[in-house]
Structure 1
Amino acid sequence: MSRKPLLRVRKTGALLVAGVIAFVGTVPLAGASRPLAWVLVVPAAVIVWAWRAGTDVREDDLRVKALVGSTRVPWSSIVELAPDERGRISALLDNGNAIRLTGVTRDNLPRVLAVAGKSPAPEEEVSTPPDPQD
């Protein structure tokens, strides 16, 4: 039996709303002709993905969920959590692989670490260069 996660991090709810709107919009098209019924699959997949995809945080591991399947990542195998240029967080594992943590961003990373009982590394102070227009 699976334990309940301490925190569930998901993508924005706007994706779910967009999927529902797209599904409703394709119903008339799919109803017009039987060969076009397959177009309902695309918005249905978006709805399922928006509902399911995300990262579940537990004390001893993370579970990264996708449209189909999930990956369990123990905290002990995570070497580093690093943001990319868009603010999305990836976990660098001790085997050299990296896995993107769905739904986890630079903004909610401190909450993820706090809930898991992990303390973030102290941030280095970055000096900003003087403005050349001054």
Structure 2
Amino acid sequence: MVAAGIAFVGAIPFAGARWELTPILLIPAAFFVWAWRAGTDVYPDELRVRALVGSTRVPWARISELAPDPRGQVSALLDNGNVIRLTGVTRDNLPRVLAAGGQEIGHAD
């Protein structure tokens, strides 16, 4: 959010130079809204993954596996084979997400 604010302030001179450049302010504004809104909410019965526009609710019963990728970001593998990236969830805070949802930590054999 701080980076979006700095980018917005930095774009003001460009947008003020010519009125045709005013839409350039929409780029940092959209990034600010995304940073403010995006994330994953954890509830005992479901996860809610929020994005810039809309959100996806996923019941815990539909999640087959939560797995981090090589960069440390966590995705949920659903029972139908679809994969949903959990915005804001990393390998380091995955145990807290599972605890908040009342889920047990299983280990791969």
- How does the TM-score come out when normalised to structure 1? 0.79
Structure 2: how far apart are the matches of 1:78 and 1:123?
15
**Structure 1 unmatched ranges of 5 or more:** 1-15, 125-134
Aligned equivalent of 1:47 = 32
CA-CA distance at 1:123 after TM superposition: 6.0
Structure 2: how far apart are the matches of 1:105 and 1:112?
10
Structure 1: how far apart are the matches of 2:56 and 2:3?
26
- Identical aligned pairs, as a percentage? 67
- Length, aligned pairs only: 109
Question: Which residue of 65, 69, 72 corresponds with 2:54?
Answer: 69
Greater share of residues in helix: 2
CA RMSD, aligned part only?
1.0
Aligned equivalent of 2:22 = 37
The one-letter amino acid paired with 2:84 is I
The one-letter amino acid paired with 1:108 is N
Moved over 6 A (4+): none
Deviations 1:18-69 (A, max 9, x none): 0000001111111111100010000001100000011010110011011111
**Relative contact order, CA 8 A, sep 6+: which one is greater?**
1
**Structure 2 unmatched ranges of 5 or more:** none
The one-letter amino acid paired with 2:34 is W
2:12 aligned counterpart, secondary structure: helix
Q: Does residue 103 of structure 1 match 2:88?
A: yes
Deviations 1:65-105 (A, max 9, x none): 11111111110100000111101100000011010000100
